[in-house]
Every structure is written in structure tokens, then in C-alpha cells.
Amino acid sequence: MQTYPIPMVPGPVKVPEAVREVYRTDFGSADLESEFLELYQKTEANLKQILGTGNQVVMQSGEGMLGLWSALKSCLRPGDRVLAIATGVFGDGIAEMAGALGAQVRKISLAYNETISDLTAIEKAIVAFQPKMITAVHCETPSGTLNPLAEVGRLKKHHGVPLLYVDAVASAGGTAVRGDAWHIDLCLGGSQKCLSSLPNMAFVAVSDTAWEIIDQVNYMGYDALKPFQKAPAEGYFPYTPYWHGVAGLNAAAELILREGLPASFARHAAVAEYCRTRLTAMGLALFPAPNAVSSPTVTAVQVPGEWSWPEFDARLRRQGLVVGGSYGQLAGRVFRLGHMGTQANMELVKQALDVIERVMGE
Ligand SMILES: *Cc1c(COP(=O)(O)O)cnc(C)c1O
């Protein structure tokens, strides 16, 4: 296939050799070998560090969206109240998904270029609506923004909301996710963003309260969380576990932990800062509003007025750079540089910006 020397798509990202190497092993049956269980537990311990939690972490075979659905379906019954904080494509999507499951959804909507700041409306809605679950997105990848969540977590705890559901798929590993400090009950991650593995594993940290609710709701299905509560202890998984997928995820997590989380976060922050500074200097407009928090893992930029997106994209590709477009109301208007995981590399980001600069000059 056509590959590009400068990959900057915000997931799936460039997969490092140490992760690809794992897939060469002809693993045995994960159902039979105790080695798989040891690997699963080691991977879980590594993901706990990345998600800032002591809660059990469930790993499922499938990409990020699987976890998003799985956690909703396992915790919600028709009629349950969900307060969805929507500041972008994923926030709106999660609200729709909860609605499709029959939940009563109330949305707190912000413009897609904004991030959570004033908590007044959220607190009012919590008090008036008494939700069972609050949903939020940490990094809104299509917008290049990062929602501060500490205050949302504090409100959740203060008002006794049972569940806080957080999509941390595009932030985990690239910036601090404090699952426990932010009182997150369902903290969702995926393998192909900052972790830089293949798009094949979803993981979710599940709090004790969430397990109680999962038990009561008793959702059964291929994507159900319930069977995973006792699976690692008893060694019986609901379907054949994906040994390669777990091993790849573990290798990816270990790369980050060996580097050290603070070092990984600093690397992401530095390339993001460099990226924003150079784009602005070229006369390009960043998509996030000036008072919004930009994500250290992805930068969203407005497609320059004199270009159509397909033409701009084609020019970048001709020079070896592939970036992401965007989705929903942002499609065709915004493009994105995914400097996450392996792509949070200063040399690579410099090359990407050199290409953009040359194309802008054409
Ligand atoms: C990538 C992503 C997901 C998961 O989507 P995939 O289908 O796994 O690509 C979920 N939430 C956010 C914010 C993401 O960036």
C-alpha cells in the first residue's frame, strides 16, 4: 500500500518496532496457558498507572468504540438519566449512543472549539436532573481540545452522582489522566492513540460502584463488562482472549512507562507547543478558541481559506505528509496533526511543519 514517511494522523499512529515484534510470536491458546493470565495481569497493572487508578482494568478485543459502547450498555437501563457534557464530536456521539439505549439524556453543549470552564450550568443540571451517569470526553480529538475534568469529578462526588464516564482514548499515555483523583468510574482507553499499538484493544477502568451497577443491570452480550469482573481471578474469559492484542498493548504500555509518564507528558507538551507556535507563525488559525485548552496530543487547524481540503490534503501527501481531516460539522474545515505516541517526536513534527510551510508557499 501507499505509505507516507511523515505520518501525522491522530490514530491509528505509527506502530513502534517493539510492538510490531510481538505479533511474530505464535502464541498458544490463551484459554489454556497460565502465561496468558500473567500477561493480562501485568498489562492491567501497567494500564492502571497510565489511567491513574487503582480500579480494575478490563481489556476487550476491539478498538476504542467497543469500550465506549460496552460501558454504556453495561451500566444503563432504558429510562436512566444521563447528563452528557458535549464539547465536540465524541461528546455528542456519546449522548446519542446513550439515547439510542433508551436513556433520558440531557446535554450541556459547548461550541466545538471550547472546553469546560464555567461549571455553573453543569452543577445546576446535576442538581435539577439527578443523573445516574455524567459523561465527558477528556481529549476531543476532532477539535484538538482537552477538557479539564478535576472539577467535574469534584461535583460528581459532592452531589453523589453514581457514575462518571470519561472517554480518555486520545489522552491516556500522552497527558495526565487521574482516574481516581477525578472520581472517574468508567475510564476508557484505546490501543491505537498515544499508546501506539494496533487498533485492536479497548480498555476501561471500572470502579467498585460501577461494578455494583453492572451487576444490577446484568447486561449480557458479546460486549458486556460483567463477565470480566471475575475473569482474571478465575481464568475464564467470556470468549477466547486475543493474546497478540494484549501482548501488543502491554509492550506499548511498557515503552511509555519505561520512558516515564512525566517524560512522556513533557514530550507531548513540547511538540504540541512547537506545532502551535509554528502554525500560527505561518498565518494559520488554530481551531480551539483562545480561551480553550489545547490538547498536547493533537492540534486542530483551520483549513486555510484559499484552499479546498481535498486539494490541500493532496499537496501534503505529494510531499510525504499525511494528516487527519475532521468529522461532523468540522469536516472539510479543519485538519489535524496527531502528535501522539510515537508521532510526538520533535524531528517528525518539524518535518511535518516544513511540508505545510512549503505547501502554503505554493
Ligand atoms: C479514537 C477515539 C475513540 C475510539 O475510536 P476508534 O474507533 O477506536 O478509532 C474514541 N474517543 C476518542 C476521543 C477518540 O479519539
In short, whether 12's Cβ falls inside 6 Å of ligand 1 is no
In short, whether 64's Cβ falls inside 6 Å of ligand 1 is yes
Task: Give tens-digit pLDDT for 136-174.
Answer: 999 999 999 999 999 999 999 999 999 999 999 999 999
- Please give the share of the chain, as a percent, with pLDDT higher than 90: 95
Task: Give tens-digit pLDDT for 243-291.
Answer: 999 999 999 999 999 999 999 999 999 999 999 999 999 999 999 999 9
Ligand 1 centroid–CA 142 distance in Å is 10
Of 21-35, 83-97, 228-242, give the range with the top mean pLDDT.
Answer: 83-97
How many CB atoms neighbour CB 154 within 10 A?
15
Domains along the chain? Answer: 6-13+261-361 (3.90.1150.10), 17-258 (3.40.640.10)
Asked if residue 210 lies in contact with residue 163, where contact means CB atoms within 8 angstroms, the answer is yes
Overall pTM > 0.85: yes
SS (H, E, C) 134-170: EEEECEECCCCEECCCHHHHHHHHHCCCCEEEEECCC
In short, whether 185's Cβ falls inside 6 Å of ligand 1 is no
Strand 56-61 to strand 334-337: parallel, antiparallel, or no bridges (unpaired)? unpaired
